[in-house]
């Protein structure tokens, strides 16, 4: 086995380890475009959002006074907090406007077949 082969095998092992961190959270068909819902992933409240068939996941907690964003409103790629109306971009977690100066952590999402996976833990992007 040459050095190149060994390097490829190490990469493959690392990738398999990464995949194991993704947690299945539901079916693609369970959440229609324009909808969002919260779920527990590794003891965290995670907000799963479907915008035009693309899924995003972010912490279900506003950075101001911790209101659940899942009770807010979704307008395109923007979720509006139900309490004081801070707005966050679901793609990046970035604060767009509102009485707060912090972004919301986001999580990686993968789709395999009809299953949605979210990367759990505290390793936010
Ligand atoms: S709790 Fe979300 S803006 Fe105040």
Cα 14 → chain centroid: 22
Structural domain includes residue 6: no
- Residue minimizing CA distance to atom 1 of ligand 1: 65
> Cβ distance 57 to 111 under 8 Å?
no
Structural domain includes residue 34: yes
Structural domain includes residue 124: no
Structural domain includes residue 28: yes
Structural domain includes residue 5: no
Q: Is 96 in the pocket of ligand 1 (CB under 6 A)?
A: no
pLDDT recorded at residue 15: 45
Overall domain count for the chain: 1
pLDDT recorded at residue 121: 62
**pLDDT for residue 10 is more than 50:** no
> Cβ distance 64 to 83 under 8 Å?
yes
- Residue minimizing CA distance to atom 3 of ligand 1: 84
Domain interval for residue 71: 23-119
**pLDDT for residue 4 is more than 90:** no
Mean pLDDT, rounded, of the chain: 85
46 C-alpha to ligand 1 centroid (Å): 17
Structural domain includes residue 43: yes
Structural domain includes residue 2: no
pLDDT recorded at residue 116: 96
70 DSSP 8-state letter: G
What are the CA-CA distances from residue 82 to residues 19, 85, 94 (Å)?
34, 6, 17
CATH (domain of 72): 2.102.10.10
Structural domain includes residue 7: no
**pLDDT for residue 87 is more than 60:** yes
47 C-alpha to ligand 1 centroid (Å): 16
Distance CA 8, CA 11 (A): 5
Using a pLDDT cut of 70, give the percent of the chain over it.
Answer: 80
Which pTM was predicted?
Answer: 0.81
pLDDT recorded at residue 103: 95
């Amino acid at each position: 086995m040459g050095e190149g082969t060994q390097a490829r095998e190490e990469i493959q092992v690392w990738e398999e380890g990464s995949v194991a961190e993704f947690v299945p959270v539901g079916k693609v068909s369970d959440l229609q475009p324009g909808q969002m819902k919260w779920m527990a992933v590794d003891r965290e409240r995670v907000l799963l959002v479907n915008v035009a068939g693309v899924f995003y996941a972010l912490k279900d907690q506003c950075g101001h006074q911790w209101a659940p964003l899942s009770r807010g409103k979704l307008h395109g790629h923007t979720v509006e907090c139900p309490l004081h109306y801070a707005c966050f971009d679901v793609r990046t977690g970035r604060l767009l406007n509102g009485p707060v100066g912090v972004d919301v952590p986001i999580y990686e999402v993968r789709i395999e077949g009809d299953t949605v996976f979210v990367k759990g833990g505290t390793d936010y992007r």
